[in-house]
Amino acid sequence: MLKICPLIDLFFTDDDLATRAAKIADCGYSFVETWLGADASELKQINNSGIQLVSIVMNFATDAPVAPINPENRKRFLERMDAMADSALAAGCRQGIVTAGQCVEGLCYQTQRASLVESLAEAGDMLSKRGFSINLEPLNTEVDHAGYFLSSPLEGLAIVKEVGLDNVKMLYDIYHMTIMTGNQFEFITHNLSKIGHFHVAGVPGRHEPKKGETNYPFLLQGIEQGGYDGYVGLEYFPLLESRASLLQTREYFGLC
């Protein structure tokens, strides 16, 4: 069975992290992920009521000073990866999400791409010694992330292949890639070995997966049958009350 992990930041938002974790567990989930990452003690609050934290965000797309596509950021980027991995590991979490950053004015595409590959290779080598993995995320540039460097799943795949490390893979966000390209099923099922994490949300709107054009039960069946053993994150902004939304998604995915 697929391991589904709600993004704890978006559900039961009036409660503290420990209470959110308990309420998510009560909806039938065993895993969560978070956009947080800097404070290990804060992350540890999540691991309550049978919930396990499985992924954090290592850097945000607009965090220019540590964007790995800029060669000038290499030292800061590696320091960020090191610090974030420390926090995650202290909370029992062994993987994180890396964004490429916004395109850097004055730097050609190839310079930025080379910097991204080299930065990921250094970070991946450093973190592999600690049993930590990173997942590079392409994002859509049509709706949510204008100016972001990496919007193509093909290019994301090429980059992680060039890095060539088992602990550096791609995060495939079905919401973002539905906006940017088609042929989802074929791309996903032929490249599962290079995908370390999934995100889902309804298209358009980024709300409940059931509310949109994407046939998630079909895609998730293919992912499961392909032998994927990682996590599928619920990174959507619920229109329903949190409990109703999470229960609806479980039913829609055939998990209950």
Catalytic, 241? Answer no
Written as one letter, the residue type at 218 is F
Annotated catalytic residue, options 33, 137, 213, 224: 137
What DSSP designation does 193 have? G
Dist. CA 256–CA 114, nearest whole Å: 45
Is residue 196 classed as helix, strand or coil in its secondary structure?
strand
Residue 145 · residue 175 · CB < 8 Å? no
Catalytic, 42? Answer no
Token pair of 154, please? Answer: 């093909």
Number of other CB atoms surrounding residue 20 within 10 Å: 26
Annotated catalytic residue, options 142, 155, 235, 251: 235
CA 221 to chain centre: 20
User: What is Dmax (Cα atoms) for the chain?
Assistant: 52
Say if strands 95-99 and 133-137 run parallel, antiparallel, or are unpaired: parallel
Residue 219 · residue 188 · CB < 8 Å? yes
- Active-site positions read 137, 235
